[in-house]
Amino acid sequence: MQPAPPAPIAPKDIRPGRHWYGTAAAVALVLTVLGVVLGMNAVSGVADAVDDGDQFANGETVTVRLGPDSDKSVWISDPGPGFHSTCVITGPGDPKVTAPGIDVFLTYGQTWNPRYAIEVTRTGDYALTCQAPEPARYAVGESGGFLSLAGRLMVAVLLTGLGLVACVVIVVVTALRRRGHRERLLAERHAAAAAGQPAHPAPASGGR
């Protein structure tokens, strides 16, 4: 007499659980949304990096409202090679201008480069004056330009890509492990059926 076929394996009995597929989707969604938000913030932050509507020339003094977290720079339009200028800032505390990073910004045919980074320790109004032996146009703006934007966008793209890769890896690993576990369970049940024993014998009942 042929042994009875083993009972089918319920999906809930296979490990790891199918909830890992949901975890993979959640990881991809969170990292993708984070990447998109970072990218949008980077684009919006650089859109008005240079306030070219409030330019000033050599010897002119402008008043700017700054704080310790302002992260502002003095930008100069088309300085050209070998251009030299100095800027002085006065106001509350001990404000100073320092060497900026390399960057660039374009507005209506003008090329802007950061000339000085502004550092202040107190919130207040500051007077800024710049001088150069040649005519120049200056403007105060955010410290980040197009190069900074490229770096931030790269981080955003990497986050999104990381989310997709993590999702694929979790799905593939979960599927492979579930298939392996299912095959082991089937082998155990076939062996138990061939021996005429239940695949999962019930525990012996204790005496009274």
The more confident residue out of 45 and 153 is 153
Is the domain of 84 the same as that of 170?
Answer: no
CA distance 39 to 161: 13
Lowest pLDDT segment from 30-44, 120-134, 159-173: 30-44
Q: What domain count does the chain have?
A: 2
pLDDT tens digits for range 63-75: 999 999 888 888 8
For residue 190, what are its two tokens?
């076939």
Tokens (6 digits) for 157? 């793209």
Phi, psi angle pair for 54, to nearest 5°? -130, 55
Average pLDDT over every residue of 147-162: 82
The per-residue pLDDT of the chain, averaged, comes to 81
Per-residue confidence (pLDDT) for residue 207, from 0 to 100 = 40
SS3 of 65, please?
A: strand
Q: Torsions phi, psi of 189, nearest 5? A: -70, -35
Quickly tell me which residue has 């790891």 as its tokens: 16
Q: In this structure, is residue 110 part of a structural domain?
A: yes
Residue 184 lies in a domain: no
Same domain, residue pair 24 and 58: no
Instruction: Measure the CA–CA gap between 23 and 178, rounded to whole angstroms.
Output: 15
pLDDT one-digit tens code per residue, 128-144: 999 988 888 998 888 76
* Structure tokens belonging to residue 143: 């410290």
Mean pLDDT, residues 133-161? 81
**84 and 129 inside one domain:** yes
Residues 95 and 158 reside in one and the same domain: no
Report d(CA 120, CA 141) in Å as an integer. 15
Condensed to tens digits (0 to 9), the pLDDT of residues 73-123 reads 888 887 766 678 899 999 999 999 988 766 555 555 677 888 888 999 999
Range of the domain at 30: 14-47+150-179
pLDDT on residue 144: 66
Looking at 42-199, which runs of residues are DSSP E strands?
56-57, 61-66, 72-77, 86-90, 96-98, 105-107, 110-119, 124-131, 137-142
* In-domain check, residue 200: no
Does 124 reside within a domain? yes
Q: Are residues 138 and 67 in the same domain?
A: yes
Residue 137 lies in a domain: yes
Instruction: Report whether 3 contacts 192 (CB < 8 A).
Output: no
